């Protein structure tokens, strides 16, 4: 039932103005009950978007679903509170200029930026994007992906990066949470979508130069060594490094570098040698794949593939050799990444084990941290998701998978049974 989130009065038509004339619009009552205290629900943003529901929380703000009135379509909107610095005219112009560049990215594997702007005299900025249904790569990794699905996901991510790199746009925060596995019913098309191109730069480019130098913006588990060093000359090779980290995690079920302290992970990205690939059980890595990952993760940007176009050329060679060995000529292979009923499959096979499907956990975003790279192991760390110092150790986003995870669950079940038996014995003793 449509309801006004401000006065609580109902109506008949979604997104219609409230009859009380309070400036709010009617949204679904179910969406309002999920976040009754949110200040944006039912509000009109930029004189054209009606905020209808919360669909996620990122490292730098909430993500909302909204109705764009003029064209009658649903969009995803990110709203950020930028504070006093965002009110300066210079900051506003830099934001507009950068957003216009990002809006040029147009590719089936890229989430399209529709609109952007400021609200409340510059205290809030917003970005309206294509709304994409599906599941995140983070969730798919937790379930466990087969090699065919991994290869297809990486290929489509590389095609998205190729488009951006051709426009001299660097993603800067490539990670599983920013990749959606989606499906288009109208065309029976399975598609991988990459989100948030250049958002990190877009949000922080308005800060004073003295603030930006020496600060890191990204997710430590996937940041390139040059990002960890706080360098400003970030090139497409930085995205290639992040891609290598994701490829390693998809195959092995764990990150290449693991630490409970983000400062230590930053140090490992800069100094630690690349560990060998140890694929999950039943994951057969094709010839040349490990060399591809190690080249992506080279510490020196000059030793990596310079951009996604070069990396894609090498990667297609690996996929082509694999296809010819297993199925036939590459042009005859129809590789698919499907999400029917919240599942993912590659080459029309289910890559998710039944036990892991039942044990699937909810998505949670990897934290984005700011670290002073000059003394990273000892520096003050701020969780920008909450805007306050981290009070304790922050665990890397690693999930229990494979035999170890099943053993832990078995031990927990056994312990619960023993406790139940002990409780029954105690009750019988008291009855006597």
Crossing angle for the helix pair 147-166 and 236-252, to the nearest 10 degrees: 170
207: exposed, middle or buried (Cβ count in 10 Å: 0-12, 13-18, 19+): middle
d(CA 79, CA 99): 14
38 is catalytic: no
CA torsion angle 397 401 404 406 (round to 10): 130
H or E element: which one contains 192?
A: strand 189-194
Q: At what angle do helices 289-296 and 236-252 cross, to 10 degrees?
A: 140
- Look up residue 174 and give its two tokens: 């490539």
The two three-digit tokens of residue 262, written as one number: 């983000």
Total number of residues shown for the chain: 432
Catalytic site residue from 173, 300, 372, 403: 173
- Tokens 């092995």 locate to 252
CA dist 357 and 302 (Å) reads 41
Q: Which residue has the tokens 């023993």?
A: 418
Longest dimension (CA), the chain: 83
The SS3 assignment for 189 reads: strand
The residues near 413 (Cβ < 8 Å, ≥ 6 apart) are none
Tokens 């379509």 correspond to what residue? 73
Contact 324, 330 (CB under 8 A): yes
Which sequence positions are flagged as catalytic?
173
């Amino acid at each position: 039932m449509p309801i006004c989130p401000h006065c609580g009065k109902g109506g008949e038509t979604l997104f219609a103005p409230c009859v009380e004339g309070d400036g709010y619009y009617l949204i679904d009552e179910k969406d309002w009950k999920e976040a009754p205290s949110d200040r944006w629900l039912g509000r009109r943003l930029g004189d054209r978007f009606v905020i209808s529901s919360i669909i996620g929380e990122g490292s730098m703000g909430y993500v909302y679903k909204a109705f764009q009135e003029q064209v009658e379509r649903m969009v995803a909107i990110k709203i950020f509170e930028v504070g006093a610095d965002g009110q300066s005219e210079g900051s506003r112009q830099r934001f507009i200029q950068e957003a216009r560049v990002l809006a040029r990215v147009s590719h089936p594997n890229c989430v399209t930026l529709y609109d952007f702007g400021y609200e409340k005299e510059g205290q809030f900025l917003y970005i309206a994007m294509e709304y994409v249904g599906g599941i995140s790569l983070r969730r798919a990794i937790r379930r466990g992906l087969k090699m065919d699905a991994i290869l297809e996901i990486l290929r489509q991510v590389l095609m998205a990066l190729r488009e951006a790199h051709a426009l001299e746009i660097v993603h800067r925060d490539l990670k599983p949470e920013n990749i959606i596995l989606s499906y288009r019913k109208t065309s029976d098309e399975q598609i991988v979508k990459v989100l948030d191109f250049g958002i990190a730069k877009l949000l922080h480019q308005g800060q004073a130069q003295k603030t930006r130098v020496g600060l890191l913006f990204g997710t430590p588990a996937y940041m390139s060594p040059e990002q960890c060093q706080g360098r400003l000359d970030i090139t497409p090779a930085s995205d290639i490094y992040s891609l290598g980290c994701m490829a390693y995690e998809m195959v092995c079920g764990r990150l290449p570098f693991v630490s409970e302290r983000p400062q230590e992970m930053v140090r490992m990205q800069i100094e630690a040698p690349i560990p060998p690939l140890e694929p999950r059980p039943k994951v057969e890595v094709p010839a040349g794949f490990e060399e591809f990952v190690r080249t992506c993760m080279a510490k020196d940007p000059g030793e990596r593939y310079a951009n996604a176009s070069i990396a894609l050329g090498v990667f297609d060679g690996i996929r082509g050799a694999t296809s010819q060995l297993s199925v036939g000529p590459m042009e005859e292979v129809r590789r698919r990444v499907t999400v029917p009923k919240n599942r993912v499959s590659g080459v029309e096979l289910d890559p998710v084990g039944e036990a892991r499907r039942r044990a699937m956990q909810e998505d949670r975003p990897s934290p984005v941290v700011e670290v002073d790279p000059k003394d990273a192991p000892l520096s003050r760390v701020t969780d920008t998701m909450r805007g306050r110092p981290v009070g304790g150790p922050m665990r890397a986003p690693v999930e229990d998978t494979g035999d170890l995870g099943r053993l832990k669950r078995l031990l927990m079940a056994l312990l619960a049974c023993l406790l139940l038996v002990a409780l029954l014995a105690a009750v019988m003793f008291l009855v006597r």
